[in-house]
């Protein structure tokens, strides 16, 4: 029976040092390939691969689209590209962002589950919000083994914590124990192969840039009365757990990530309204003064009353802005 030979690692804030620690402690003759996706900005200089290459026994490099997998080697997702596994090859995609990130962790985990099934190990590390939770659940649906960094050990424990809530994770461990755990899992025989859900494969294809339109999204999700923060399109709710959404363009959000983005939009809308109402109050005050100078006392009283109403409304909005 085949052994586990794919390790997919995902992380965000607070994960770089953990990844360095894990990769430094992995055995030089590791009978597995290691793929790493970390949230980085589009302008990132792709330095992580060099750091890992010089700091441990395994050679590391920024992933190149189409290159064949080798054991005892680390492949790092480049900036602004999703990293996915396609059989025995690495692929890079510029499909829509997921949870505001590209590279995102979920596509890597899903593709590892689709391509390797029970031979795959998914590892989710420190980070904010919950990218990786649904991908880890999908990897497990495909028969893979799931691991999270202990949330209490992580610099940012939200990502591993939400993963533990999203599915029945197989292992949790502090950063210092992860390398030994992974080495043991690689030495074990993989379990029986499972039939991968077609909906998981479709989401991998979207990450790779497959045209995502209303009929495509309808295969995996149902429209809801919510708007995509990224493009303004209608969101649809993915039918499998955990709770997630995609728009017709393909932008993906967990419920938590969507709330986070909506909070920013609400705050911006309140501040724009505050500016407009403040300007109207100023105009009413100027019109009041102009009416008084012209001897139109009745008009001046009306303008003054409206100015006070605007100022009261501005006070309510200011209170809301401070709470947002």
| From 15, 39, 138, 153, the catalytic residue | 39
Residues 6+ apart with CB under 8 A from 266: 324
Dist. CA 152–CA 126, nearest whole Å = 10
Q: Do the beta carbons of residue 246 and residue 205 sit within 8 Å?
A: no
Beta bridge partners of 149: 173
Dist. CA 237–CA 243, nearest whole Å = 7
**What tokens were used for 180?**
């030994």
251 is catalytic: no
| From 12, 33, 134, 167, the catalytic residue | 12
Which of 143, 138, 146, 147 minimizes the C-alpha distance to 190? Answer: 143
| From 131, 138, 153, 212, the catalytic residue | 131
Count of C-beta atoms within a 10 Å radius of residue 192: 8
CA triplet 75, 80, 84: central angle to 5 degrees?
A: 45
**What tokens were used for 148?**
């999270």
39 is catalytic: yes
Dist. CA 303–CA 293, nearest whole Å = 13
**What tokens were used for 139?**
């990897």
115 is catalytic: no
CA triplet 206, 207, 209: central angle to 5 degrees?
A: 65
Dist. CA 140–CA 138, nearest whole Å = 5
Catalytic residues: 12, 39, 131
């Amino acid at each position: 029976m085949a052994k586990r030979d794919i390790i997919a690692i995902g992380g965000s804030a607070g994960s770089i040092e953990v990844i360095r620690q894990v990769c430094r402690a992995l055995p030089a003759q590791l009978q597995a390939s290691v793929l790493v996706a970390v949230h980085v900005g589009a302008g990132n200089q792709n330095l992580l691969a060099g750091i890992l290459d010089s700091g441990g026994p395994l050679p590391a490099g920024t992933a190149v689209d189409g290159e064949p997998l080798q054991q005892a080697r680390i492949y790092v997702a480049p900036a602004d590209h999703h990293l996915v596994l396609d059989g025995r090859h690495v692929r890079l995609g510029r499909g829509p962002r997921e949870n505001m990130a590209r590279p995102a962790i979920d596509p890597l985990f899903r593709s590892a589950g689709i391509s390797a099934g029970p031979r795959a190990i998914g590892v989710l590390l420190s980070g904010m919000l919950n990218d990786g939770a649904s991908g880890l659940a999908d990897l497990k649906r495909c028969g893979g083994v799931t691991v999270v960094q202990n949330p209490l050990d992580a610099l940012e424990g939200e990502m591993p914590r939400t993963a533990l809530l999203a599915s029945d994770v197989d292992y949790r461990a502090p950063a210092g124990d992860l390398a030994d755990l992974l080495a043991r899992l690689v030495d074990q025989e993989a379990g029986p192969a499972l039939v991968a859900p077609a909906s998981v494969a479709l989401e991998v294809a979207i990450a790779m840039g497959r045209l995502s339109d209303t009929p495509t999204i309808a295969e995996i999700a149902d429209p809801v009365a919510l708007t995509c923060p990224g493009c303004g399109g209608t969101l649809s709710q993915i039918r499998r757990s955990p709770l997630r959404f995609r728009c017709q363009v393909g932008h993906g959000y967990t419920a938590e990530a969507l709330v986070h983005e909506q909070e920013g939009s609400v705050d911006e809308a309140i501040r724009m309204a505050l500016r407009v109402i403040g300007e109207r109050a100023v105009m009413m005050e100027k019109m009041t003064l102009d009416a008084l100078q012209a001897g139109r006392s009745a008009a001046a009283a009306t303008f003054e009353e409206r100015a006070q109403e605007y100022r009261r409304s501005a006070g309510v909005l200011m209170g809301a802005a401070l709470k947002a």
